[in-house]
A and B are shown apart, each in its own frame.
Chain A
Amino acid sequence: MAEGDLTLKVQRFDPTADKLPYWQSFTVKPRPGMTVLDALFEVLNHQDGTLSFRFCCRAGVCGSCAMVIGGKVRLACETQVAQFVGKGDLMLSPLPHQPVVKDLAVDYTHFFDRLKKVKPYLVGKEPYPEKEYIQSTKERQPINDPIDCILCGSCTSSCTMAWTNSDYLGPAALLKSYRFLADTRDSVPDERLDIIEGESGVWRCHTQFNCVEVCPKKLNPTEAIQKMKIKAFKRKLFGRRGTKK
């Protein structure tokens, strides 16, 4: 290993062949501007063709390459390797507490099941407009942030409550719910609150802030969940009319 090289310690696991995962080391030579995803390609192309990881856009938009990089969940395509050179081995493992398909690729089925529960789509108001719903800048402001979610699964994977309670909707689904709840064009806020106000909805959040720490888009799911807690509680106190816009 030459000076300035980086050793990647990758968690390898093939469910059809291995009983337990194991670490495998690869050495790559960092180039300027090299991302962790680039380093993984270096390994895949020149050292071990059996390494599996998920990727798509390579630009931090698709949310496919989220993994644990050096103890923190990040997007491989947005993380520069230069910051890890000279600090020991760089450990790479798949998203925590998710079923592993192979090596660094995890099964997102449960994650998307959770998302489906919160009706992640706009239910329009009648009468439907001919062209589009008109929104003022002020009306659009609350959803400016939550609309940026790329569904990479980082937050829900790093939330311990979402890990141990499979009913819990998790930060990503709750942020999505908030995104439509705060949307002035949406017409079913009561229905959305019904879904999220159960014990496995917002009340499972114990403000751990892991989701805020890991979000690659710097979103704040905890704040969204807290706002929904207040909305749900106000509705409980003052009845359904309290939440009507």
Chain B
Amino acid sequence: MSEQRVATSKVAGTWAWAFQRISAVLLIVFLGVHLYAAHFMDVGAETGEEPLITFDEVSLRLDQLLYIVVDYGMLSMVLLHGLNGFRTVLFDFDMFVRRKKLIDVTLWVVGIGTLIWGIVILFPFISGAGG
């Protein structure tokens, strides 16, 4: 234990910390818009039962560029914030600090993969009923 090993990384620490705070505040704003848009906003679709979210309703909403930006922005923020937070939890433990590079690469791959997946799964709504 007496070796002079101090820091695992000088680059990631500061920015990871700062970004975690910035994305946290952004997420609170995004979440408000997201919940309002998904559950309370009236987009004028025939939705049948009121509380139900339907495909047509979401499609109509996603006709507007604003909500595409909000949804994709929220998706990327959530992934960055969530996986960065998960990374923080992992690096609290010695056994994961030792595999730092592997974990960093894995989390980036998972993050970018999920981002692409998340972008793709909204396509049916965007190209859907609205037109």
Q: Find out whether A and B make contact in their complex, taking CB atoms under 8 A apart as touching.
A: yes
Chain A positions near chain B (C-beta within 8 angstroms): 109-110, 113, 117, 160-161, 164-167, 169, 194-195, 197-201, 203-204, 206, 229, 232-233, 236
Partner of A199, one of B4, B18, B91, B93: B91
Is there contact, CB below 8 Å, between B1 and A200?
no
Q: Which residue of B lies closest to A205 (CB)?
A: B17
Q: What is the interface of chain B mostly: helix, strand, loop, or mixed?
A: loop
Is residue B5 contacting chain A, with contact meaning CB distance below 8 A? Answer: yes
Q: Which residues of B contact A206 (CB under 8 A)?
A: 88, 92
Is there contact, CB below 8 Å, between B1 and A166?
yes
Name the distance in Å between B101's Cβ and chain A's nearest Cβ.
Answer: 13
Count class of interface residues, chain B: 20 to 34
Is there contact, CB below 8 Å, between B94 and A165?
yes
Is there contact, CB below 8 Å, between B1 and A201?
no
13 intermolecular pairs with C-beta atoms under 8 Å apart: A110-B1, A117-B6, A164-B93, A167-B5, A167-B8, A198-B6, A199-B9, A199-B13, A200-B6, A200-B97, A203-B14, A206-B92, A232-B14
Q: Which residues of A contact B17 (CB under 8 A)?
A: 203, 229, 233
Is there contact, CB below 8 Å, between A165 and B1?
no
Is residue B16 contacting chain A, with contact meaning CB distance below 8 A? Answer: yes
Chain B positions near chain A (C-beta within 8 angstroms): 1-2, 4-10, 12-18, 88, 91-94, 97
A117 to B5, CA, bound (A): 8
A166 to B8, CA, bound (A): 12
Q: Which residues of B contact A203 (CB under 8 A)?
A: 13-14, 16-17
Is there contact, CB below 8 Å, between A195 and B7?
yes
Name the distance in Å between A156's Cβ and chain B's nearest Cβ.
Answer: 13
Q: Which residues of A contact B2 (CB under 8 A)?
A: 109, 113
Is there contact, CB below 8 Å, between A201 and B18?
no
Is there contact, CB below 8 Å, between B1 and A197?
no
Partner of B10, one of A110, A117, A194: A194
Q: Which residues of B contact A160 (CB under 8 A)?
A: 92
- From A160, A198, A201, name the one whose CB has the most chain B CB atoms within 10 angstroms: A198
Q: Which residue of A lies closest to B21 (CB)?
A: A233
Q: Which residues of B contact A236 (CB under 8 A)?
A: 14-15, 18
Q: Which residues of A contact B7 (CB under 8 A)?
A: 167, 195, 197-201
Partner of B8, one of A113, A169, A199, A232: A199
Name the distance in Å between B70's Cβ and chain A's nearest Cβ.
Answer: 28
Q: Which residues of B contact A109 (CB under 8 A)?
A: 1-2
Q: Can you add 6 more A-B contacts, CB < 8 Å, to A200-B97, A203-B13?
A: A165-B93, A166-B1, A195-B7, A199-B9, A201-B6, A203-B14
